[in-house]
Structure 1
C-alpha cells in the first residue's frame, strides 16, 4: 500500500487545524502535538501541518514563501462539481482565498484554494469515463473533438 504524506509549514498550527477540518479533514491525534498535526483526507492521503520551527528540523533549505513562490501543485479529487464548490466555499469561509476562475473543461472541473498561510491546493472533479478513456477519446465520443 502506498500513502501520501504532504508536509506543509504553518504560522499558526491551531488556525490550520481549524481550517483543514472545516474542509473535511479529520485529525489523527496519535500524530498531533504542539509541533504538528496529522490531517487525514482519506485512508491514504495525509497532510502533516508543521510549525515553521518544527518543519525546519527536516530540511536545511530555506523556506519558500508560499504566498509568493510555488514549489509544488497539489490536486485533490472530489466526487462532483458541487463537492468541489462546497470545499472551496468552506475554505473561503474559514480564511482561505479562491484565486482565479474555475477551470471547466466539461469532462473536468477544477478550482484553486489558498489557505491562510499561502499554501495552495487545487480541488477537482473528473468524469469517470474521461478518466478511464483519456480526455481526447472521451471528447471524441461526445462529439466535441
Structure 2
C-alpha cells in the first residue's frame, strides 16, 4: 500500500462541508461516509475525513478548536499549473469559502490561501522546483 495521508477535520455540518469539497473537485467515497462523517478523496494518496464535531470528539480528549478563530494546522495543496490554482480559488469562493491570502506570483511559485465553511485553511501552490536550488528558500517562500 502506498503511503497515504488522511486529514481529519471537525465540521459543523457534514452535508454542507461535503458539498463544499465536492465543488473543489474532491470525490466522496460513500463506503466510508454517513451522516457523521464524509470520506473525501483528493488523489490516490490524499484524503480528508469531514467529521461531525461530536464524532470528532470521540477521537481525542483535547478541546476542539474553532478554526474560524484559532489555527491548528496549515494545510497546502499543490497543483500542476497556475491556471489550476486560479480554478480552485474560484471554486472555493463560489462554494462559500473565503480567500485569506490573495494569489501571488513569485515567478517560480504561484499561490494563495482560502478557508472552508468551518474556517479550515488551505494554502495553494504551483511551483517550478527547478527554478531554485535552495530548498530552504523554497520552504520559506511557500509558507
Structure 1-normalised TM-score? Answer: 0.88
Contact 2:101-2:114 at 8 Å conserved across structures:
no
CA positional deviation for 1:32: 0.5
Instruction: Compare the two structures and name the one with the higher strand fraction.
Output: 2
| Alignment partner of 1:4 is 2:14 | no
Structure 2-normalised TM-score? Answer: 0.89
Alpha-carbon distance between aligned partners in 1 of 2:119 and 2:137, rounded to the nearest angstrom: 37
Q: Which has the larger radius of gyration?
A: 1
Alpha-carbon distance between aligned partners in 2 of 1:47 and 1:93, rounded to the nearest angstrom: 20
CA positional deviation for 1:15: 0.5
CA positional deviation for 1:41: 0.2
C-alpha offsets along residues 7-40 of structure 1, whole Å, 9 cap, x if unaligned? 0011011011110011010011111111100100
Alpha-carbon distance between aligned partners in 2 of 1:2 and 1:10, rounded to the nearest angstrom: 25
| Alignment partner of 1:95 is 2:93 | no
Contact 1:23-1:91 at 8 Å conserved across structures:
yes
CA positional deviation for 1:128: 4.4
The alignment of Structure 1 onto Structure 2 pairs a total of residues equal to 137
Paired residue secondary structure (2:65) = coil
Runs of 5+ consecutive residues of structure 1 not aligned to the other structure = 139-145
Moved over 6 A (4+): none
